[in-house]
Amino acid sequence: MQSNRVDKQKIKGGIIASLLHDSLAKNLGLKVGDIITHINGVELLDILDYRFQIAEESIVLEVRREEETFSLECEKEYDEDLGVEFDDVLFDQIRRCQNNCDFCFIYQLPKKMRRSLYVKDDDYRLSFLYGNYVTLAGLKEFDYQKIIEYNLSPLYVSVHATDLEARRELLRNPKAEDIIDRISYLIQNGIEVYTQAVICPGLNEGPILEQTMNDLVKLYPGVKALGIVPVGLTQYQSRLKNMQVHTVAQARETIAMIEKYQKAFILDYGHPFMQIADEFYLKAEMPVPSKEHYADFQLLENGIGGIRQFVDSFSENYDPQDTAPGKSVGVITGKDGAYMFKEYILPVMNPSHRQKIQILEIENQHFGNSVTVSGLMVGSDILKQVKPGTADRYLLPSNCLKFDTPVFLDDLGVTDLEKHLGAEIMILNPGAVDFLEGIFEA
């Protein structure tokens, strides 16, 4: 049975994609393509249901195989798994976003990209599993009870504004609930929350942002942090006729206001509750602050603290006495990454090392030049802007590729780029240690 033919609207349950060798599942006679629909009478809607229900010594599986449904009884150790992998972590369907935020990145994508990129998800299960930010809009009491019963903590919540009317306007959702009430309910039941606010000039800055910070800081330590990020706009946005990205002056004004609250909180608690995205400092043409402003760097995935962590890690791990690389290295990066290398990294390197390195700043023509992060680089832009023979070897950050395969957002593969450049491309995880290994392995 081919798992991709199963209609998840009709048949819920986990579709087995593979079985571990000599596993309990194999001993029970389970096969690839079988659908585990229930454990101990509980319907499985996702991997979380499976993990929770499998943690028993006596289990009864209900399994569907093609048109047949049958049950299997099993005695096992409390923490023993079946030894199966499913084709997806969600067994029903992804929870679609009920909001219509004008600044949503989905609305700013060009046409004819991968279909999966156009999915607007707002699924608390993906928030727990992968750190996706969700708005909590549209959650039912069943969902909250599941979050609490399974202790799905921490969750990552897009607040944007705590003022109810402002938030409803930002989300374009007149039914959005009071977010402070919802977060408070989660905290009271033992769920920790990380929050974010995407700041749109003229909409949720100034007094509205001040209220957001004041309201959320009262919920500390249940709310662990508030990440504050500038709105990003691509050349394809059509819903935001009057919105612009932050000017230098606007970015500096916003940073000054946030840092006033941040400094007070650090003095009182030794913790920077409000954390400002690196991109804000770059827009303001200001240096990024010290590591004390980022706590333990919990918000790296949201573009907060990455530059400071990279620079500090580079300082700790770089040895200027190392033998110079034998080959020239081209570092492929976006505008923000190029700024970091040119401002903080290259100036402190041994000249014999530095002369082997070229920072290849890629202008984002695909999404528009206001998009400056390396995570949105596409292969076609690199193809057009980097000439063959530029370097003996190239370094590429992994965050611009699909998580499970070396393919860019525009579906160009890294192997295609290697053929064009006539040289190896080394894919690196973000971080100074990997960068140094990439340089000195050349």
Which of 165-171's residues contact partners 24+ apart within 8 Å by CB, and which partners?
166/203, 166/204, 166/208, 169/203, 170/101, 170/103, 170/200, 170/203, 170/204, 171/99, 171/100, 171/101, 171/135, 171/137
Locate the domains of the chain by residue range: 3-86, 105-304, 311-440
Alpha carbon distance 192, 224 (integer Å): 7
Quote the pLDDT of residue 376: 94
Alpha carbon distance 433, 316 (integer Å): 9
Alpha carbon distance 402, 409 (integer Å): 7
Which CATH number applies to 311-440: 3.40.50, 1.10.533, 3.90.380, 3.40.1350? 3.40.50
- CB count within 10 Å of CB 106 equals 12
Quote the pLDDT of residue 163: 98
HSE-CB of 277 using CA atoms within 13 angstroms: 22
The enclosing H or E element of 428 equals strand 424-428
Alpha carbon distance 338, 362 (integer Å): 9
Angle between helices 141-149 and 179-188 (to 10 degrees): 30
CATH 3.80.30.10 fits domain 105-304: yes
Quote the pLDDT of residue 372: 93
In the chain (442 residues long), the average pLDDT of successive 10-residue segments reads 45 92 93 97 97 95 95 92 95 93 86 82 96 95 97 98 97 96 98 98 95 97 97 80 86 97 92 96 96 93 96 97 92 97 97 96 94 94 96 96 90 95 94 94 70
212, 162 contact by CB (below 8 A):
yes
For the chain, the C-alpha Rg in angstroms (whole number) is 24
For 395-413, the three-class secondary structure string (H helix, E strand, C coil) is: EEEHHHECCCCCEECCCCE
- The dihedral over CA atoms of 337, 339, 344, 345, expressed in degrees to the nearest 10, equals 50
Q: Mark residue 29 as left, alpha or beta (left: phi above 0; alpha: psi -120 to 50; beta: remaining).
A: left
Q: Please tell me the CATH code under which domain 3-86 is placed.
A: 2.30.42.10
- Which residue has tokens 């923000």? 336
For strand 14-19 and strand 35-39, is the pairing parallel, antiparallel, or unpaired?
A: antiparallel
CA distances from 138 to 133, 166, 174, 213, 258 (A): 14, 18, 11, 24, 30
